[in-house]
Amino acid sequence: MIENTFLHVKGIGHKSEEKFWHKGYLTWEDFIRRGGTSKKNHLIKLELVKSKNALETKDYSYFQNRLAKIERWRFFDYLRSSVAYIDIETTGFKSGNNYITTIALYDGKEVKYYVYGKNLKKFKQDIKNYDLIVTYNGDLFDLPFIKQYFNIDLPQFHIDLRWIFANLGYRGGLKGIEKALGISRGELDGVTGYFAVLLWREYKKNKNKRALDTLIAYNIEDVINLEYLMFTAYNVKLKELSIYKEELLLKIPTPPVIDIQPDVELVNRLKEYVNRFNY
C-alpha cells in the first residue's frame, strides 16, 4: 500500500491522490514513467524518486515526517514482517522519578518480555532488530518514556493506533476499543494501568512472584491485542479507498498461546481495593 500512496508528497491530498489513481497512476513508478511533463508533475516525480530511495535505504524518518499519523497504517503491509508490537508498564505516568517495570514485545511469532532488575536492559538491543513499531498511545507515552529511560533513539517507522481508531470514530482508550471489537481479556477483564502499578508494588514489597506473573500476563495481553487491532485498522482503512480490492485485505492471525497466567484471586482482591477507594 505504501507505494500506492501519494499523500506524503507536499501539496497532494486525498482528492489529488484519488485523481491519480483514477488516471491509472496506481503506484509511484506509474507516475514517474507517465505522469506528464508540467512543472508541478516534474516536482512530484522528483519527490517520488526520493521516496523510492528512502524506502530502499530504510530511511523511515523521511516518511514519518511527511505522512499524517492517521495515514501511517499504509506502511503496515510493507513492514509487517519486521514489526514489534510493544507496550510498557511503569511506576507512574510521567518519566523522571518513575521507571519502567516491564516491557512486552510481540513480533507476530514470538512474545518477549523484559523486567526491571532482571533483563530490562536487553530490550535496548532487541528493539534494533525491527523496522516497524506499533503501539497504542505510544506517541505520547511509551516511546518518549523509552527514549528517555534508555537514552536511545528509535529510528523505526512508528504506527500509533490511537490516532487511527480515533479517526474511525472509536473512543474509550485501548480497553474501550477492545470491547467495541468484541475482544475479551478473560480473567484480566477490568484490569487497568493503575492495577499494573499496584501489582509491581506488591511484587517489590512482598517478593510475590504471582503478582509479577500477573503483571507480565497483563502486559503481554496488551501487545497481542495490538496485533488484532492493527490488522483490523488496516483492513477497515483500506476499504475506504477507491483502489480497494478484496484480495488486498490481510488475514488476521491467530493469537499465540501464553504460558504465563494471572493470579485470579489477587486480581479480584485488587479490584475490590480499587473499587473501595474509587481509584
Q: Dump pLDDT digits (tens) for 59-107.
A: 999 999 999 999 999 999 999 999 999 999 999 876 678 899 999 999 9
Please give the Cα distance from 261 to 263 (Å, whole number): 7
Mean pLDDT along residues 248-253: 96
CATH architecture assignment, domain 76-276? 2-Layer Sandwich (3.30)
Please give the Cα distance from 207 to 90 (Å, whole number): 18
Q: Which residues contact 183 (CB under 8 A, 6 or more apart)?
A: 225, 228
Q: DSSP letter string over 100-160? A: EEEEEEE-SS-EEEEETTTTTTHHHHHGGG-SEEEESSTTTTHHHHHHHHHT----SEEEE
Q: Which residue has the higher pLDDT, 185 or 220?
A: 220
Q: Is the pLDDT of residue 274 over 80?
A: no
Partners of 147 in beta bridges: none
Please give the Cα distance from 88 to 213 (Å, whole number): 15
Question: Where in the chain are the domains?
Answer: 2-67, 76-276
**Residue 154 Cα distances to 129, 143, 148, angstroms:** 11, 8, 11
For 93, other C-beta atoms within 10 Å of its C-beta total 11
Longest dimension (CA), the chain: 72
Q: Quick one: pLDDT at residue 271?
A: 81
Mean pLDDT along residues 221-227: 96
Q: Dump pLDDT digits (tens) for 43-58.
A: 999 999 999 999 999 9
Q: Is the pLDDT of residue 275 over 80?
A: no
Q: Which residues contact 247 (CB under 8 A, 6 or more apart)?
A: none
Q: Is the pLDDT of residue 190 over 90?
A: no
90 three-class SS: strand
CA distance from start to end of the chain: 43
Please give the Cα distance from 183 to 232 (Å, whole number): 12
Q: Quick one: pLDDT at residue 278?
A: 63
96 three-class SS: coil
